[in-house]
Structure 1
Amino acid sequence: MRIRTQKNCLLCGITADEDFCGACQRDLPQLPTQHCPVCLRPVPAGEICGACLKKPPAFTRTIAALRYTFPADALIHALKYQTNLAIAPVLAHLFMARLEAVETMPDVIVPMPLHPIRLRERGFNQAMEIACYIAKQTDITLLPDGCSRIKHTLPQAGLPWKERPKNIRKAFSCTMDLSGKHIAVVDDVMTTGATLNELAKVLQRQGATEISNWVIARALPEIKQAGPFTSF
């Protein structure tokens, strides 16, 4: 007879069978049902949004587990800034639920690289921690050193959205032959998409034909403020 191990809900602390109790699981912030398949911006009928049609990004699509608002943001902050590495597989598990609807899986997984200076400061790469768990569970090849960050940029989170593409420009390098490959880039948060787009450009130059962003959370403007939304 198998004895089920009881846990405490990561959010409210009550006894639960999984990482979250039923109520907290239901309250996790979800993406709009109808959204752009490329950047996840909410749009009617789920068609490609105007921003992606006007200026197509280098990546093909984006898949995210949650919307970047409370408590998803608190969970990611606990991993990223409080070194709570036990949260990485929890976030990865939330993301993998989205893969059930994916028809074609990628050939390889590339975690968003950190610059060596940032890596020494933090002590770990949160994207790598998440990507390792996803790769193990999906049996997809992980390329931990496939790309490198060669430019020590200012933190994107501290910059106005319009300045982020310039800040991240020419920040990445890749020497692998990715001809004909479908690449999944794993990261914790997608805000404007500037960082993911810059890395996707490098992957394209190395021959990648499809690039999927696999992120834990997508930051989106509030619905009441919706209007022209420049992602890239």
Structure 2
Amino acid sequence: MPLPPLHRAFALLHAALLSWRCMLCGAPGVDGMDLCAPCAKELPRNGPCCARCALPLPIAAAMCGQCLRREPPWDGAWAPFRYGWPLDRLETRFKFGDDLAAGRTLAALWREEPAPVELPALLVPVPLHRARLRQRGYNQALELARPLAAMLGIPLGQDVLVRTRDTSAQTELDRTARRRNVRGAFAVRENAVLPDHIALFDDVMTTGATMAECARLLKRAGVQRVDAWALARAPMH
């Protein structure tokens, strides 16, 4: 897939000033990215996976056992990668290490993956609380969503949802605690224009608690279909 004009221009400028270097091993980068071909090949693609929640599965199946027992509040999912080595290293550097170059590489990798056939009318990144946003300086979900939305020609609804409560980090909690942690932590912004089909957007989906809370809000606000999009889906442990 050809690079978007802005990314292509950046790639040419970067190449003229400094050679691309793999962020994982230091070897020369390829395809206008700070990633070499062998490391890019090691990135864990998410297949086969559950069509409903994108949970990695050992064999192809329409739905995982968890979704068969209790369907999630969203209608479909897209997570092209599995959360594991070496993608998790890039994600950690981007999310917690102020490494925007790692985010740019992750966004470029996502753009190369085949998109769902039925695209949403609006892409809505999961918001950060204003306190967390001040601390980090950027919303990692929004930064990943911008280039993908531009490539797919989908409007970006970055102000549709607001995080009303600063929650504890989900990484430290189990499944039940994650659901409790995000309950009532989001709201649909007043006067937000909501189309019938929206895709929620986040960097990593682990148990799906955050996506579920946001999807329920959007459904209650009148959205007919909500999809869950994430760069990577964590395996079940």
TM-score, length of structure 2 as denominator length? 0.85
Say whether 1:91 aligns with 2:106: yes
Number of aligned residues: 217
Structure 1 residue runs of 4+, over 6 Å off? none
Conservation of the 8 A alpha-carbon contact between 1:65 and 1:94: no
Distance, in Å, in 1 between the alignment partners of 2:167 and 2:77 is 24
Find the residue that maps to 2:91 and give its secondary structure.
Answer: helix
Say whether 1:199 aligns with 2:214: yes
- The CA RMSD measured in Å over matched residues stands at 1.8
Give CA deviations for 1:200-232 in whole Å, capped at 9, x if unaligned: 11111122122122211111035xxxxxxxxxx
- Unaligned runs of 5+ residues in structure 1 are 223-232
Q: Which residue of 2 aligns with 1:105?
A: 119
- Unaligned runs of 5+ residues in structure 2 are 1-10
Distance, in Å, in 1 between the alignment partners of 2:236 and 2:200 is 23
Say whether 1:123 aligns with 2:144: no
Deviation at 1:85, TM superposition (A): 1.3
Deviation at 1:43, TM superposition (A): 5.7
Q: Which residue of 2 aligns with 1:8?
A: 21
Deviation at 1:137, TM superposition (A): 1.9
Q: Which residue of 2 aligns with 1:221?
A: 236
Find the residue that maps to 2:203 and give its secondary structure.
Answer: strand
* Identity score, percent: 37
Distance, in Å, in 2 between the alignment partners of 1:173 and 1:143 is 14
Give CA deviations for 1:156-190 in whole Å, capped at 9, x if unaligned: 1111222110111111100324252x111111110
Q: Taking structure 1 as reference, are residues 38 and 126 closer, same or farther at Cα in structure 2, changes over 3 Å only?
A: same
Conservation of the 8 A alpha-carbon contact between 1:179 and 1:206: no
Distance, in Å, in 1 between the alignment partners of 2:95 and 2:109 is 17
Conservation of the 8 A alpha-carbon contact between 1:68 and 1:219: yes
TM-score, length of structure 1 as denominator length? 0.87
Q: Taking structure 1 as reference, are residues 43 and 28 closer, same or farther at Cα in structure 2, changes over 3 Å only?
A: closer
